[in-house]
Amino acid sequence: MVKKLAKQIIGSMGFELSRFSESEKKVAEEFEWDLELFAYKDFQVARGIAYSGLMTVDEARFLSTLVQRTSEEDPIIEIGTLFGFSTMVVTINKSKAQKLITVDNYSWNPHNISPVAHKLATASRLQDASSNHNVEILNKSKNDFYNEYSGPIPGLFFCDANHEYESTLDDLRWARQVGAKIICGHDYKSKFPGVKKAVKEFGGPSELVGSLFVL
Ligand SMILES: C[S@@+](CC[C@H](N)C(=O)[O-])C[C@H]1O[C@@H](n2cnc3c(N)ncnc32)[C@H](O)[C@@H]1O
């Protein structure tokens, strides 16, 4: 009754009462979801599940083959953990003993949750990997990581963080400079011209599956 009245008053002022924000409506549109079918909480959980990784199955398969080309004694470096989807792809394709370092400063996520919530969600999701599969999750900016790294030459470097041109150049330059044996990254596609431009300056992709490139 109160809700109906509020709706009428707001409607008479030319506004619409909606449980969902414009950005939430955009997400629903992207997934072709009818928002009428969702309670507010259900929508938040459903979008969290739907948006937990940003890689296609073909790209994940290709990343798997790249991991399988590495040697167990060479560490793997991932820049851009997000919620751990690609981290899990790498983890299940490496040996238990092979070291994987994944770096994120929790500056961005598709749900706009706080950096603290983002970090806690990711840590919990990757808990088994970090406790039992030699996966180290580093909460730091990639440039700090690049300046501080003193470990062995990486067998695989996978960048999937900030997709601006300068930022991608930083990633590729560092990987080249430390002698990473396989250098790859995500989002070589027209939506991210900075990635394409930077990769082309390094000679372009030698292999490309979906938007997953290898230098
Ligand atoms: C596209 S998402 C990574 C997706 C993830 N690799 C996957 O496939 O599931 C980009 C991530 O990079 C992180 N990021 C952005 N800029 C960064 C920076 N300068 N240093 C470290 N992480 C950064 C964001 O917080 C975000 O989690």
Same domain, 174 and 207: yes
In this predicted structure, what is the pLDDT of residue 24? 86
Same domain, 66 and 44: no
Domain limits at 103? 57-214
Running DSSP on this structure, what letter comes out for residue 83? T
Same domain, 69 and 32: no
In this predicted structure, what is the pLDDT of residue 2? 60
Same domain, 149 and 206: yes
Protein residue closest via CA to atom 27 of ligand 1 = 82
Same domain, 101 and 163: yes
Same domain, 77 and 44: no
User: And the tokens for 111?
Assistant: 């749900």
Same domain, 67 and 118: yes
Percent of the chain exceeding pLDDT 70 equals: 91
3-class DSSP assignment, residue 77: strand
Ligand 1 pocket check for 106: Cβ under 6 Å:
yes
In this predicted structure, what is the pLDDT of residue 54? 81
How sure is the predictor about 186, in pLDDT bands with cuts at 50, 70 and 90? very high
Same domain, 196 and 102: yes
Residue 15 has pLDDT above 60, yes or no: no
Nearest CA to 23 among 35, 14, 15, 12?
A: 35
Integer CA distances (angstroms), 153 to 36, 54, 105, in order: 53, 28, 23
Residue 27 has pLDDT above 90, yes or no: no
- Tally of domains within the chain: 2
Residue 126 has pLDDT above 90, yes or no: yes
Ligand 1 pocket check for 142: Cβ under 6 Å:
yes
Same domain, 117 and 209: yes
Percent of the chain exceeding pLDDT 90 equals: 75
pLDDT in tens, 46-57: 888 887 678 999
Ligand 1 nearest-atom number relative to CA 107 = 25
In this predicted structure, what is the pLDDT of residue 155? 98
How sure is the predictor about 12, in pLDDT bands with cuts at 50, 70 and 90? low
Same domain, 130 and 210: yes
Same domain, 19 and 116: no
How sure is the predictor about 97, in pLDDT bands with cuts at 50, 70 and 90? very high
In this predicted structure, what is the pLDDT of residue 101? 98
Ligand 1 pocket check for 156: Cβ under 6 Å:
no
